[in-house]
Amino acid sequence: MRKFCFVIHPLSLADIARYEPGAKGKGEPILRKIMEWMPPWAVVHVTGVRTPDGRETEGWFVAAPLLPEQLIALPRDEVYARIQRAIEIGIELGAEIAGLGAFTAVVGDGGVTINQRVGIPVTTGNSLTIAAGLQSLFRGADEMGVDASQATLAVIGATGSIGGACIELAAERVGKIVMVARNETRLRKFHAQKAPELPVPSSYTTDIGAAVRQAQLVLTATSATQDVIEPEDLQTGAVVCELSLPHDVSRRVALERPDVLVTEGGNMLLPGNPRFERVREPGTEFDLNLPPRTALACMSETMVLALEDRLEPFTLGRGIDVARVREMAAMAQRCGFELAGMRAFDAAIDRAKIEATRAAAQARRARTVAQHV
Query: Residues 230, 324: one domain?
Result: no
Query: Residues 163, 240: one domain?
Result: yes
> How far, in Å, CA of 144 to CA of 136, rounded?
12
Region of residue 331 (left: phi > 0; alpha: psi -120 to 50; beta: else) = alpha
Report whether 9 contacts 104 (CB < 8 A).
yes
Query: Residues 73, 31: one domain?
Result: yes
Count of alpha carbons within 13 angstroms of residue 166, beta-carbon side: 38
Write out the chain's pLDDT in tens, 373 residues.
999 999 999 887 777 777 777 667 677 777 777 777 788 999 999 999 999 999 999 999 999 988 888 888 889 999 999 999 999 999 999 999 999 998 888 888 889 999 999 999 999 999 999 999 999 999 999 999 999 999 999 999 999 889 999 999 999 999 999 999 999 999 999 999 999 999 999 999 999 999 999 999 999 988 766 778 999 999 999 999 998 766 778 889 989 999 999 998 879 999 999 999 999 889 999 988 889 999 999 999 999 999 999 999 999 988 889 999 999 999 999 999 999 999 988 788 999 999 999 999 999 998 887 776 6
Q: Which long-range contacts (CB under 8 A, 24 or more apart) does 223-229 make?
A: 223/72, 223/103, 223/106, 223/157, 223/160, 224/248, 225/68, 225/69, 225/72, 227/251, 228/156, 229/156, 229/253
Q: Where in the sequence is the domain holding 168, given as residue range(s)? A: 128-266+342-371
Query: Residues 118, 149: one domain?
Result: no
Query: Residues 174, 277: one domain?
Result: no
Task: Report the number of distinct structural domains present in the chain.
Answer: 2
Query: Residues 119, 61: one domain?
Result: yes
Count of alpha carbons within 13 angstroms of residue 55, beta-carbon side: 17
> How far, in Å, CA of 282 to CA of 274, rounded?
15
Rg (CA), the chain: 20
Query: Residues 194, 166: one domain?
Result: yes
Report whether 187 contacts 193 (CB < 8 A).
no
Query: Residues 163, 257: one domain?
Result: yes
Query: Residues 139, 12: one domain?
Result: no
- Give every strand in the sheet of 338-339, ordered side by side: 294-296, 267-269, 338-339
User: In 3D, which of 123, 16, 125 has the Cα closest to residue 67?
Assistant: 16
Residue 32 DSSP one-character state: H
CATH of the domain at 161: 3.40.50.720
Query: Residues 209, 260: one domain?
Result: yes
Query: Residues 201, 349: one domain?
Result: yes
Query: Residues 77, 140: one domain?
Result: no
Predicted model pTM: 0.92
> What residues have CB less than 8 Å from 135, skipping those under 6 apart?
339
